[in-house]
Amino acid sequence: MILYDYILSPDAYKVRLLAALVGVKLELRAVDVHPGREHQSEPLRALNPAGSIPILIDGDLILTESAAMLVYLARRAAAEWLGGDDAVDAARVQQWLAFSRRLTEHLGGARATEMLLEPGDLPAMQRASTIDLRELEAALSERRILGQSHLAADRPTIADIACFPYVALAPDGGVSLDPYPSIRLWMRAIRMLPGFIEMPGIHRLHDLKPEPVSPAMPETV
């Protein structure tokens, strides 16, 4: 299984991370995205006309969307990462996969503008990112009240992997994670998964900052 990869691409990292967590061996082929723009070259556009990274190839299969790659890896190696047979869990997984596209647009856009000097309306993307993070914080706080640490089920799923990288890299786009204790606790839970691998720029916040305080549990009557 071949992954055309860029070490600083959060979308490529999602695929590398899930592969590490479920024990799938990937043959990595580095692509010079910045500054070389190799992903726009004719050979890679022949694989992916959109000119984006990552690209996953397995035999005759070519996948060019990271969400599809996560589904494929999970189905091949660890189907429980798809949310199982429960219809509610499976629907939640799909909803968070869709939400992850907003994170790519807003947090990813802010990061590309702030860090890589790509053109874009940075204040607008930062405002949109804040809305996304507040929504994620509220959902994770609700999950914690139910005694659960992950987005879509009582265990990690591809929903967590799809959302994790752009959230963890939010500070690169000038968006602080300090106001979001449930997000920070969720990030720690992901880091604790056996097989977790690092990505440059995703700092060990749990080593550098105090333990986040979980939202107060409601009193029972």
* Non-local CB neighbours of 180 within 8 Å, separated by 6+ positions: 133, 134, 136, 137
pLDDT value of position 210: 56
Tokens 């992903």 sit on residue? 39
Beta strands 61-63 and 2-5 are unpaired
The pLDDT value given to residue 142: 96
Q: Which residue in this structure is represented by tokens 């899930």?
A: 18
pLDDT (0 to 100) of residue 204: 61
Question: CA of 90: how far to CAs of 31, 82, 138, 202, in Å?
Answer: 33, 7, 20, 28
- CATH 1.20.1050.10 positions along the chain are 81-208
Q: Return the CATH number of the domain spanning residue range 2-77.
A: 3.40.30.10
CATH 3.40.30.10 residue window(s) in the chain: 2-77
Q: Which residues contact 189 (CB under 8 A, 6 or more apart)?
A: 149, 150, 156
pTM of the model as a whole: 0.89
Rounded percentage of the chain residues whose pLDDT exceeds 90? 77
The pLDDT, as a whole number, for residue 131 is 98
CA-to-CA separations, 34 to 9, 30, 31, 53, 115, in angstroms, rounded: 10, 12, 9, 12, 12
Q: Which residues pair with 9 in a beta bridge?
A: none
Ranges under pLDDT 50 in the chain: 206-207, 216-221
Q: Give the largest CA-CA distance in the chain.
A: 66
Predicted pLDDT of residue 203: 63
> Tens digits of per-residue pLDDT, 125-145?
999 999 999 999 999 999 999
Q: From 113, 211, 120, 205, select the one nearest 164 (Cα to Cα).
A: 205
DSSP state of 27: E
Give the fold, CATH level 3, of 81-208.
Answer: Glutathione S-transferase Yfyf (Class Pi); Chain A, domain 2 (1.20.1050)
